[in-house]
Structures are given as C-alpha cells and as structure tokens.
Structure 1
Amino acid sequence: MTSSYNARAVVTGAGSGIGRAFAIELAARGGEVICADISLTRAQETAAMIDGYAVACDVAIREQVEELALFAELTFGSAPTLVVNNAGVGIGGKPVGDIGFEDWNWALGINLWGVVHGCEVFLPAIEAAGEGGFINVASAAGFAAAPFMAPYNVGKAAVISLSETMAAELSGTGVKVTVLCPTFVKTNVALDGRITGAASTLAENLMRSTGFTPRKIAVDTLNKYDRGRLYVVPQLDAKIIWRLKRIAPALYTRALGLLGRLAPQETTEKAGV
C-alpha cells in the first residue's frame, strides 16, 4: 500500500509554510525529499533541515517542472512515490471587473497551472510504476467562494475538481490522490502575495489568531492520505462552510453577498510580490 512513510517525495513551494512542514514531516517518516521552490535560497534552507535536495522551480513554467521531474528520477533512480503540489500564492481585495488580467494570469499560473503541470508531468511515471500518489494543496476558498477573492477562489476550485477527476480516473490503479482544503494557516501567504487594502490586514490577523500551524496541517494530511482519503478539510470553520453550502447553496451565496457589501473597500495600492 502506498504510504507517506519511506517515501521518495517531491514537494513544491517547500521553502516555507505548509510546503516546508510537509518536507520536514516526510523526512521524519523516513523519506527522501526534494524541496522545490521558486526561491533556491528558501529551498536550500528547508533541505538543510532534513538532509534533502534543493531545486529552484517556478511551477508556472512547464519546462521547469519537467526539469524537476528529470532531477527526481535521476536522484531517486525511479519515479517519486509522492508528489506534493503545494506551491501557491495569495491574492484578493478587488471585485471582478477591477482585478486586471495581469493579476489573473499571475495567480492562475501558480495556483492552477502549477498543479496541472505537477500532475501532467509526474503522473505517467508514477502510474507506470503502479504505486505512489499526489497531495494537491487547494483551499476552503475553492468551495467557500468569498467575495473579492475571485482569482484565488477560481484557482483553488479548479484544483479540487482536478483532484476529484484524477481520483476517479486512477481508481483501482494503486495511485492515490488527496486534496487539502484548509482555511487559515500560520504562513506568509498574505505577506508574499497580492492581497490588497483592508483584505490584507484581515487575512494577516486571522492567520495569526485562528490559523493552524503548518505542521499540524501537514501531519493531519499525510495521515489521511495514508488512509486513502480524497478530501482533507482540517478545520471546523471549513467543515461548517462545506456543509452549509450543500444544504442551502442559494441562501449561502446571498449571505456572502451581504457580508461582501458590508466589508470595507480597498484603500491602498496593490502590494508587490
């Protein structure tokens, strides 16, 4: 049975946050870990903690993900047994119609295409080996659909759908798929992303005050991956949203709209990456 223990693992976005926590926990479970990140310095910092391997990789660029897969095959001597498609960025603060295509392309390039590249590039070798799996990091935002977060919501919703589709296609093959849908986690995603105005302050405060630690998220997700779970919805608020939207979807959307109209509007310029 495919397991997170003694894995040959590739983790994207491993330079900080949830990605770093996945890398550390996988190494603690006896695995060999390749830490990939757009920042080689951050990747090297994580790799040094676990005696792993560091690779610079922009997951939005398919050729770089293909190079990462080649490095993994040469390093491990075979296909990885676990790919954690974690790399992602935060974006929010503007309504549809005011976002701009540059921000759409930037967010979807990483949050959606990064996961697509990771699945398309790594899956053939993993499927041929008949064992292994994927953990795709989405977000509760993918089903919560909160106002002023459209690029983030759309990307994460697509990752959930991609994971569900893969799970159906790979049923019975020995290749597993798990999709992680957290709410707030104590990471730098709000600081490193493009969350503007009042939304940025709100996100930072919620992450500090209510967010789970990255380690707690990583441990819970790996344990549920080992048990064959498709969905990991680790926090109570995410579970409540999940159920409310399915019980009363129209009412849920109207309530979100009301909250959105009451929210403070953006007052500052777009933050840099």
Structure 2
Amino acid sequence: MLFFKKKIKPSHQAYAVVTGAGSGIGRSFALEIAKRGGQVVCADINLAAAEETVQLISQTTGQKAFAESCDVGKKEDVERVANQAENLFNHPVTLVINNAGVGLGGKFDEMTLEDWQWCMHVNLWGVIHGCHFFVPKFKQQGYGAIINVASAAGFTAAPEMTAYNVTKSSVLALSETLSAELHQDNIRVNVLCPTLVPTNIMKNGRLPSNYSGLADDLLQNHAFVTSDQVAQKTLNNLDKGILYTIPQPDAKLFWLMKRASPTLYTKMLGVGYPWFKRFVK
C-alpha cells in the first residue's frame, strides 16, 4: 500500500500508540493526534495517568482513546500493547511514538550500575522495544511512521549527565539508521531533540539534591516552548518527511556549534564546567 506516497499525512487520522502518554510531551502528542482525527492508545507505567489523558481526549475531541499499563523496558509489556492496540482499533497501528523517558544526573564516578540499568531500561530499551515490535508490522502493511523522543542531550554531551546522554545519543543514532534503512519500505521516522520543556521528567528522575531545585526552576520557568508546541512541530515535521525536530533556538545553536567544530565545542564544555559547578553549589 502506497500510503505516504499518496501524500497522506501520517499524523492525520492516525492509529497511534504513544508511550509515556500520562503526562508531559506524551500527553501532548496524544491530544494533538486526536485533534487531527486520530485514535490513540495511551500507554504509561502509571495507568491512572494514562486514563486521565484518555478522559482529556474524550472531553476535548470526542475521539476514541484507550489506556494501557506499560513498562516500556519490559519487552513483554510492549509486545502486549502492540498486539492489543490492533484489537482496540480494529485497524493496524500506523504511528508509534516512543516517548517514555526518565531523567538522571550526577558525576560519572558516583553513578551506580543500578542507575545505569534503570536509565537504559526506559530511555534506550523502551525505544528499542517499540521499534522492534512495530517495524515488522509496518513493513508487512506497507507503511507506517515512527517518532522517537531523544533529547538535545544526545548531542550536547553536558557534564554530569553521562548515563542520560548515552541513552539519548543512542536513540538519535537508532533513529538515523532506521530512517535510512526503512525509507524503501515507506516508513517515515522523526527524532525529537528538545532542550528544556515543562514536564515531570526531572521530578520523577534521579538528580543530586543541589541540582533538583535548579532543574525544576529551569523546566517550569525558563523553557522556550511548551510540550503542546513541541508535539505540534514534531508531527508537522513528520508529515513533511523531516528526520530531525530540534524545536528550540538553544538546541539549534548547540547542534550547529558541534557540527561545525566538534573538538572546539568539547573544549568549551570543559572550560565552562568549573564555572557551572560554582553556580549550582
């Protein structure tokens, strides 16, 4: 089926699965898809939060939406949701948004292996599982679309965010690879790389005590865009066949600086790091 080659927008009338749909960017994605005439399975480890999103969709759009409990780091959960979604829609899934994520910060030598495993369980394996169980379905039906939520952290490489940076850079690499590999299969891919967006990711994450207040203030009071704006821009880029969504000017600046001179960029981070440490103490 030449779905996208007929210029049909993949974000419109979509049958979508959104992970981490109980709050933040995930909830915004689910609401925006419903506004565009789509149906959504709202998957979240917090079922009550997913049900709240479903209620909001019903109240604001009248579109069908379903709540499913899902720990994206568990392959059994993601496989169940992938299969259940088709039954709930009575239609193949056409769009998956691998959004669920957690925040983690701290010095590399103070990170435990359990911290690493916890972060990778959600941020990396969650995306891998989502792609693993949906790509074969998309290839079989002849079309589909994937949005993977990474972060500007995937290329900015800020100090004291090692595990988080590693997971997000991996999601970026995965998305770039899939975009090239799946192009001939009529499967579109977009990777979202934001900086600060007002969400609960840091409140529900693991941060050193001296960072938590600063991080919350930055997210809630100094973000350039809202989660709704991020979702709208990402879906619009997906419709246009654009691979990268870098929604904020600071993220675009870091992206350009690192691509222009990676060595100089890294040196600048090293020079600025001592100043940053004095600032947060």
Which category describes the TM-score, using the shorter chain as reference length? over 0.9
Q: Which amino acid aligns with 2:95?
A: L
Equivalent position to 2:243, from 230, 233, 239: 230
Q: Which residue of 2 aligns with 1:207?
A: 219
Q: Which residue of 1 aligns with 2:66?
A: 53
Q: Which residue of 2 aligns with 1:197?
A: 209
Q: CA 1:197/1:257 → structure 2, altered by over 3 Å: closer, same or farther?
A: farther
1:241 aligns with 2:254: yes
- For the 8 Å contact 1:66–1:121, the answer to whether it is kept is yes
Q: Which residue of 1 aligns with 2:41?
A: 34
Q: How many residues align?
A: 267
1:13 aligns with 2:14: no
> In structure 1, the residue corresponding to 2:190 is in which secondary structure?
strand
TM-score (norm 1): 0.94
Deviation digits for residues 203-238 of structure 1, max 9, x if unmatched?
Answer: 212112221211000000000100000000010000
Equivalent position to 1:161, from 169, 173, 186: 173
- For the 8 Å contact 1:27–1:50, the answer to whether it is kept is yes
1:115 aligns with 2:127: yes
Q: Which amino acid aligns with 1:43?
A: A
**CA shift for structure 1 position 127:** 1.3
**CA shift for structure 1 position 73:** 1.6
Unaligned runs of at least 5 residues, structure 2: 59-64
Q: Which residue of 2 aligns with 1:271?
A: none
Q: CA 1:267/1:242 → structure 2, altered by over 3 Å: closer, same or farther?
A: closer
- For the 8 Å contact 2:211–2:280, the answer to whether it is kept is no
Q: Which residue of 2 aligns with 1:67?
A: 80
Q: Which residue of 2 aligns with 1:103?
A: 115
Stretches of 4+ aligned residues off by more than 6 angstroms? 265-268
Equivalent position to 1:172, from 184, 192, 205: 184
**CA shift for structure 1 position 267:** 9.5
Deviation digits for residues 19-61 of structure 1, max 9, x if unmatched?
Answer: 0000000000000100000000000000111131000000010
Unaligned runs of at least 5 residues, structure 1: 269-273
